[in-house]
Amino acid sequence: MRVTRIFPALLLLMAVAVAGFFALSPAQPGVAQSRRFFAETGYNVDGRFLQFWERQGGLPVFGLPISAQRQERSSEGVFAVQWFERERFEAHPENSPPYDVLLGRLGDEALRQAGRDWQTLPPGAPTDGCRFFAATRHRLCEPFLGYWERNGLEFDGQPGTSYAESLALFGLPLTEPTMETNSSGATVLTQWFERARFEYHPDNPEPYQVLLGRLGAEVFAPGRANLDPAAMSPPQYRAVEQAGWPTPLEVPTGFTVEEVAGGLRGPRFMARDADGSLVFGSSTTDTVVRLRDNDGDGYYETEQLVAEGLPFVHSVAFVDGQLYAAAENRVVHLSDFAPDGRARDQQVIIDGIPDGATDLYGHRTRTLLQGPDGMLYLSVGSSCDVCEESTPLRAAVLRANPDGSGLEVFASGLRNTVGMDFRPFTDELWGMDMGRNNLGPDLPPEEFNLIQAGQNYGWPYCYGDRRPNPEFNDPARCAATEGPRYTFPAHWAPLGVAFYDQTGFPAGYQGDALIAFHGSASDQTGGTRIGYNVVRVRFKNGQPVGHEDLLRGFIIGADAWGRPAGLLVLPDGSVLVSDDFGGRIFRIRWEGI
């Protein structure tokens, strides 16, 4: 790939580089930086990552940062990482320098992401003038051999580059050289390594005939040219058909969607038990249901009734391994399961939750989750569309001890925050608040809030970004409330919220929020159907900056055949979406581009 096609300024840097592509300059006394901001991508690099970046080659070797430093899950654990155009830095403070910063095996990851198992590819054989690596059964010849041997991480302080230093930077070869088309559309001689991809561009002047592929960018956000979450263009979509669906569903290229359970009655929010079974609440039938995949094929064939008679039960959660369910007026602990799956014991954990509705728009469902602090968080919606409540326990997020004691108001002024979740590796609680009705088809926006202890978010006096409701017209009161961090169009009706924290999707999804929109009521939008989708909310430096559809296609003219409700990220990285209208559960999976 020609790096200059993406960042033209890199030509100037290359022109003044000393002693070749990887020329390093020793740090000068008194000029060390603890943080450097890269205006090209809007990210900082600091601390050990900045020292490593500068000492080991900087921009020509690693490229620009394309993420903030963040906690991220991998197949080997959770590490502090930062992504660059050509690499991923991992912090390993348990190691002594220089091994406290390690490079990701992006060549291996990119091949696997594309469905290519390097261990099944044709091997090479020892050849004169080449270096043969018995561990992977591949050879390294010109034009790539000299490049590999001349360049590496600086570990020993000695002149030149040792075999160990080259190996630390690039890793072992995983393929023989072959002609491949890169993400810029150029067909070039290519060889893959554990941590790099070499490309040969014979028309370039020396020493730029061998270039490193932008593996960091390609693994982080496959198929995306613009990596800035705030300006990322919408992805390309593909239609997925399945028997029984009235229309195809659409997902971004590289993903697929499939139905994994059907014929259900009103599945809402879901939770996964330790044995792999799936539990959901059904607010339309007042029941808690368990689904089992008995043959391990990924489809839930067996349905078991766990509990019934729980008014408007909508949310279930596993709290320290125990099953809790949130009904309209109480939270219960379900246990002592019979062979048929039914809970023989229902212990009330929280009682006396305000219930009922005073108008057509009152909210009866409750959402329960456990925070990273071990506490229970419970969302209780308003009794009405716009009114002053008689109790502070409505239109609020409540907090209690794990045993249900110590119930208190955590945050208020939240009309109906059905979906909420904690941002991974933080104590930040984010939630989608559903806006009021009867202000027209374009108002108010749906609010994505950072829900903080003791804060008031405005309802019933305000909507949107602290706009006064006409019933109260109190701008001074609204100015003192907490505004949303991001908004969506009116009447999309947000339900499930889940932050993505697994490895099945491309790495760029980690830390982003997924939101299920139940879809509009036709009386509020003039008969037009809007919402009925699942979106990805892209985060940058800890804040939401853009969104795109992850799943869509349920709308048929003036009607819809499905309504996304709950979201659940599974340990394998796939995402489940419940549809309480069609009685289905869908799975979204990454297949690769």
Q: Which structural domains are found in the chain, ordered by start? A: 3-220 (no CATH), 237-590 (2.120.10.30)
**pLDDT computed for residue 97 by the predictor:** 85
Q: Give the pair of three-digit tokens for residue 189.
A: 């001689």
Identify whether the C-beta of residue 260 lies closer than 8 Å to the C-beta of residue 587. yes
- Mean pLDDT over all residues of the chain? 92
b/e sequence 512-523, b meaning 16+ C-beta within 10 Å: bbbbbbbbbeee
pLDDT of residue 2 exceeding 80, the answer is no
Q: Is residue 323 classed exposed, middle or buried when 0-12, 13-18 and 19+ CB atoms within 10 A define those classes?
A: buried
Confidence of residue 184 (pLDDT cuts 50, 70, 90): confident
Please say if the pLDDT value at position 544 is more than 90. Answer: yes
Average pLDDT estimate for 188-212: 95
In whole angstroms, how large is the CA radius of gyration of the chain? 27
- Structure confidence at residue 183 (pLDDT): 80
Task: Determine the Cα–Cα distance for residues 369 and 378; give it in Å rounded to an integer.
Answer: 7
CA distance 199 to 215: 12
Task: State how far the Cα of 405 lies from the Cα of 317, in Å rounded to an integer.
Answer: 17
Is the distance from CB of 530 to CB of 492 less than 8 angstroms? yes
Q: What share of the chain is helix, strand, coil (3-state, %, to 5)?
A: 10, 35, 55
Please name which of 468, 471, 495, 467 lies closest in space to residue 567, comparing C-alpha atoms.
495
Burial of 48 (0-12, 13-18, 19+ CB in 10 A): middle
Residues 49 and 36: their CA atoms lie apart, in Å, by: 10
**Distances in whole angstroms, Cα of residue 384 to Cα of each of 17, 392, 397, 565:** 67, 14, 16, 21
Helix residue spans in 26-87 (DSSP H): 47-55, 58-62
Q: State the residue for tokens 């051999």.
A: 145
Confidence band of 25 (pLDDT split at 50, 70, 90): very low
561 vs 15: which has the higher pLDDT: 561
- pLDDT(18) > 60: no
Structure confidence at residue 265 (pLDDT): 98
What the block records as the tokens of 354 is 């305000």
DSSP states along 422-469: EPTTS--EEEEEPP-SSS-TT-SPEEEEEE-TT-B--TTTEETTTEEP
User: How buried is 260 (Cβ within 10 angstroms: 0-12 exposed, 13-18 middle, 19+ buried)?
Assistant: buried
Terminal alpha carbon distance of the chain: 18
pLDDT for residue 19: 27
What's the number of CA atoms in the CB half-sphere (13 Å) around residue 436? 26
**Which pTM does this prediction carry?**
0.92
Q: Mean pLDDT, to the nearest integer, of 378-400?
A: 98
Q: What is the pLDDT of residue 207?
A: 87
DSSP designation for 213: -
3 state SS of 70: strand
- Kindly write down the DSSP assignment for every residue of 126-163, as one continuous string: --TTSEEETTTTEEE-TTTHHHHHH-----S--SS--H
Q: What is the identity of the amino acid at 211?
A: L
Per residue in 443-502, pLDDT tens? 999 999 999 999 999 999 999 999 999 999 999 999 999 999 999 999 999 999 999 999
> Taking 70 as the threshold, does the pLDDT of residue 83 lie above it?
yes
Q: Which long-range contacts (CB under 8 A, 24 or more apart) does 230-239 make?
A: 230/42, 230/538, 230/540, 230/545, 230/546, 231/546, 232/538, 232/546, 232/548, 234/548, 234/549, 235/548, 237/549, 237/552, 239/553
Task: Determine the pLDDT at residue 32.
Answer: 56
**Contact by Cβ (8 Å): 149, 170:** no
Position 13 pLDDT exceeds 90: no
- What does the pLDDT look like over 252-280, one tens digit per residue? 999 999 999 999 999 999 999 999 999 99
Percentage of the chain beyond pLDDT 90 is: 87
Nearest alpha-carbon partner for 441 in 368, 490, 383: 490
The per-residue pLDDT for 185 is: 87
Residue 156: pLDDT band by 50, 70, 90 thresholds?
Answer: confident
Judged by average pLDDT, the poorest of 27-41, 78-92, 110-124 is 27-41
Q: What is the pLDDT, as a whole number, of residue 367?
A: 98
The 3-state DSSP class for residue 296 equals coil
What does the H/E/C string look like for 521-550? CHHHCCCCCCCCEEEEEEEECCEEEEEEEE
Alpha-carbon distance of 289 to 419, in angstroms, equals 20
How long a stretch of residues is the chain? 593
Mean pLDDT calculated for residue range 61-78: 93
Tokens of 474: 């109190």
> Which string of b and e fits 199-230 if b means at least 16 CB within 10 Å?
bbbeeeeebbebbbbbbbbbbbbbebeebbbe
Contact 214, 584 (CB under 8 A): no
Nearest to 498 by CA among 534, 549, 526, 527: 534
Residue range 203-212, pLDDT digits in tens: 999 889 999 9
Predicted local confidence at residue 76, as pLDDT: 82
Task: Give CA–CA dist 347/370, Å, rounded.
Answer: 18
**What pLDDT digit, counting tens, does each position of 527-541 carry?**
899 999 999 999 999
In tens, the pLDDT along 283-334 reads: 999 999 999 999 999 999 999 999 999 999 999 999 999 999 999 999 999 9
